[in-house]
Structures are given as C-alpha cells and as structure tokens.
C-alpha cells in the first residue's frame, strides 16, 4: 500500500468518552458509564465478546445513538460538530454492505468526499485526486473501474478503507477489519493503520482477532457492557484482564507438546484461543507474549 494522501486542513482530534450509557428503545442497557480517552497518534483495539457493546460504542461516537448519560468529545467538540467537520470516518463490517448494489469501486471511495462537496455532489479536481490517492494507498488503483460486487473480501475491505482515507477523517473507526482476510492483506492493513497513526490520527479498531492486538495496538479498551479496562496495551491486554472480559467465551489450553518443541517456551505457558482461532501465548504471570505461529 503506497501513494500520498491529500490531507484536509483541521486540527488534531483527541477522543474522549466520558461516563457514556446507552439504552436502546426496547429498554436494553447496552453500555453503562463507559469512559476512556485517546490521544492523537494512537491505534487502539476495542475488544470484547459478542454483544458486549462495541458497535454501540461506535454508534455513540458516530452520533447514531444518543447516550442517556455522559458525553463523547472529538477534538474537544460535541459529536455533531465533529461530524460536520468530517473528523470521523467509519469502515463498516462486510455484513453491513449490500454487495449486489451496482456501484463501482471509484464511486464507493468518492462517497467519502460527499461531506466536502456541495448539495449537487459534483466532484471537483481535489475530490478526484483524493480518491485516486486513497485507492493508491490501499493498492486498489488497478481495480478502480470494477464493480464492488466483483471483488474479493480482502479487496472490498481495502475499498472501504480507501473511502475513509478519501474522507480525510482524524478519527477512524474500523469494525472487524481482519475478518475473512488472509495474512498478507492483514499485514498490509496493519502497516497502513500504523502509518495513519504516525500521521497523528486516532484509529479505533474493533476486533475479535486477539492474536493481532499486541502487534499493532498501542492502546486497548476492554468492554463488557461498560469499559472494564483501558490504557496502554502492555498494562491492559493481560491474561487476567482478558479472562475477565471474555469469561467462558475464550478457550484456554496448555501449550501442546509438539508446539513446545518448535518454540522457546517454558512449561506452564498457556495458549488462549480467540473466537477466530488465532492463538495467543501467555506467560504464567498473565503477560501476553504474542502469537503462537508468527512471534514465538
Ligand atoms: N437496536 C437495538 N435494539 C436493542 N438492543 C440492541 C440493539 N442493537 C444492539 N442491541 C443489544 O445491545 C447489546 C450490545 O450490542 P452491540 O451490537 O453493541 O455488541 P457488539 O459488542 O458490537 O457485538 P458483536 O461482537 O457481536 O458485533 C447486545 O446485547 C445487543 O443485542
């Protein structure tokens, strides 16, 4: 993934979620008193079991649900003001998109520019440049004329990432970006997110792929209907915290003998499998040592 990105003007935007509670119209309290904050230039993993409130938190940050208590601030501004300034870009889960809709790759990425256009939505040269730069950056310029439904799962993810880049948001929300992508695409996405972090953006990534969290997240927010723990990855992404967040949803195994023969690990380490089955190895004191296959 390479190429330059046309960056919008705008100040760096920190994110603060302060005491946020969200109740749905049926009365279900999906989040209670959730708090954390992130500084510009951070990649943060949002980690929790199914139904723990990750998407609800995204919706609160995007102004799609109104908290019954607390507030979200982006760059010190209320959500609606931040949205008007195009500070927040969202990369959806594949399931949220109608892939049969006949729309080309370039058109999808151009949608990221709508907030920069007037009512008639006629693209200007700057919009076309931003689209091309974003497509180049995710390595999709060659497929720009394809229909979106004609792409692979990994290519589709790149297109929606390009849409967020073309928008030029300071805060990027990614919902499960690694689901259904191969290791090469995952590495390319991680590299791009790291570059965006180094440019001063905040990247908030919801993921079930626990194995990848220590390798690319500076911060972690663990959720289960509230924020259980938030902070730098080495402090928060620990065995005890993960077991508290996931309870019985994580399978825990002793490291198999045959794996020990290939890895410099001591007895007593355990392997924890996330629900996408990429194993994490933890030390007896609960420190996460890394992924079994790649890091150890
Ligand atoms: N529109 C809604 N109305 C009522 N309850 C909802 C609604 N949307 C979500 N919920 C409930 O709120 C809780 C949190 O859901 P949410 O989608 O935020 O979880 P999640 O952590 O994103 O889950 P997953 O990992 O499965 O995507 C769940 O119990 C869910 O059933």
Tell me the per-residue pLDDT of 178-226, one tens digit each, with 9 for 90 and over: 887 888 888 888 999 999 999 999 999 998 888 788 888 999 999 999 9
Cβ atoms within 10 Å, residue 98: 8
Q: What is the pLDDT of residue 10?
A: 43
More confidently predicted of 210 and 290: 210
Q: What is the pLDDT of residue 255?
A: 54
Q: Are residues 176 and 277 in the same domain?
A: no
Q: Cα(269) to centroid of ligand 1, in Å?
A: 34
Q: Which residue owns the Cα nearest ligand 1 atom 24?
A: 50
Q: Are residues 277 and 215 in the same domain?
A: no
Q: What is the pLDDT of residue 69?
A: 97
Q: What is the pLDDT of residue 186?
A: 85
> Mutual orientation of helices 125-137 and 153-167 as an angle, nearest 10°?
140
105 sits in which H/E element: helix 105-111
Q: Which residue owns the Cα nearest ligand 1 atom 1?
A: 24
Residue ranges making up the domain that contains 39 = 15-237
Q: Are residues 77 and 206 in the same domain?
A: yes
Residue 25: which pLDDT band, with cuts at 50, 70 and 90? very high
Q: Tell me the CA distances in angstroms from 20 to 58, 159, 252, one per residue in order.
A: 12, 32, 32
Tokens of 171: 């805060």
pLDDT surpasses 90 at 247: no
What CATH number corresponds to the domain at position 105? 3.40.50.300
More confidently predicted of 129 and 183: 129
Give the list of residues 6+ apart from residue 255 with CB closer than 8 angstroms, or none: 263, 265, 269, 270, 271, 281
Would you say residue 243 lies in a domain? no
pLDDT surpasses 70 at 259: no
Would you say residue 254 lies in a domain? yes
Q: Are residues 80 and 153 in the same domain?
A: yes
Q: Cα(24) to centroid of ligand 1, in Å?
A: 9
Q: Are residues 25 and 105 in the same domain?
A: yes
Q: Is the ipTM of this structure higher than 0.90? A: yes
Q: Cα(199) to centroid of ligand 1, in Å?
A: 32
Q: Considering only CA atoms, which of 46, 30, 49 is closest in space to residue 249?
A: 49
Residue 13: which pLDDT band, with cuts at 50, 70 and 90? confident
Which residues have any ligand 1 atom within 6 Å of their CB?
24, 26, 28, 30, 48, 50-56
pTM of the full predicted structure?
0.84
Pocket test for ligand 1, best of 54, 57, 209, 225 (most atoms within 8 A of CB): 54
pLDDT mean over 31-46: 96
Q: What is the pLDDT of residue 2?
A: 43
Of 209, 237, 265, which marks where a domain is finished?
237
C-alpha to C-alpha distance for 95 and 146, rounded to whole angstroms: 20
Q: Cα(23) to centroid of ligand 1, in Å?
A: 10
Side by side, the strands of the sheet bearing 227-232 are 88-91, 171-175, 202-206, 42-47, 219-223, 227-232
Residue 295: which pLDDT band, with cuts at 50, 70 and 90? very low
Q: What is the pLDDT of residue 252?
A: 59
Q: Cα(54) to centroid of ligand 1, in Å?
A: 8
* Mean model confidence pLDDT for the chain: 83
77 sits in which H/E element: strand 77-78
Q: How many domains does the chain have?
A: 2
Give the list of residues 6+ apart from residue 216 with CB closer than 8 angstroms, or none: 43, 190, 193, 194
Q: Are residues 19 and 133 in the same domain?
A: yes
pLDDT mean over 237-246: 84
pLDDT surpasses 70 at 65: yes
Name the DSSP class of 178: T
pLDDT surpasses 50 at 7: no
Q: Are residues 27 and 127 in the same domain?
A: yes
Would you say residue 1 lies in a domain? no
For the CA of 59, the closest atom of ligand 1 is 18
In degrees to the nearest 10, what's the CA dihedral of 50, 53, 58, 63? 140
Please classify residue 264 by burial: count the beta carbons closer than 10 Å to its beta carbon, then call 0-12 exposed, 13-18 middle and 19+ buried.
exposed
């Amino acid at each position: 993934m390479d190429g330059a990105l046309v960056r919008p003007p705008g100040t760096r935007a920190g994110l603060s979620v302060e005491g946020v509670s969200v109740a749905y119209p049926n009365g279900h309290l999906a989040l209670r008193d959730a708090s954390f904050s992130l500084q510009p230039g951070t990649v943060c993993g949002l980690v929790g079991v199914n139904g723990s409130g990750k998407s609800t938190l995204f919706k609160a940050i995007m102004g799609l649900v109104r908290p019954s208590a607390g507030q979200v601030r982006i760059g010190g501004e209320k959500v609606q003001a931040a949205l008007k300034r195009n500070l927040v870009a969202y990369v959806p889960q594949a399931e949220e998109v109608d892939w049969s809709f006949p729309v080309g790759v370039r058109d999808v990425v151009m949608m990221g520019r709508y907030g920069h256009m007037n009512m008639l939505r006629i693209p200007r040269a700057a919009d076309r440049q931003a689209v091309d730069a974003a497509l180049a950056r995710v390595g999709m310029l060659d497929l720009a004329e394809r229909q979106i439904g004609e792409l692979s799962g990994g290519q589709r993810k790149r297109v929606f990432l390009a849409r967020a880049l073309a928008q030029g948001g300071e805060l990027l929300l990614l919902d499960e970006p690694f689901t259904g992508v191969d290791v090469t695409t995952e590495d390319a996405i991680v590299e791009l997110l790291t570059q965006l972090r180094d440019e001063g953006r905040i990247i908030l990534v919801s993921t079930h792929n626990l194995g990848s969290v220590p390798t690319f997240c500076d911060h972690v927010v663990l959720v289960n209907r509230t924020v259980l723990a938030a902070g730098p990855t080495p402090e928060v992404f620990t065995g005890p915290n993960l077991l508290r967040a996931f309870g019985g949803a994580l399978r825990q195994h002793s490291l198999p003998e045959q794996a020990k023969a290939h890895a410099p690990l001591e007895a007593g380490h355990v392997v924890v499998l996330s629900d996408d089955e990429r194993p994490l190895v933890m030390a007896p004191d609960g420190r996460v040592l890394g992924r079994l296959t790649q890091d150890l």
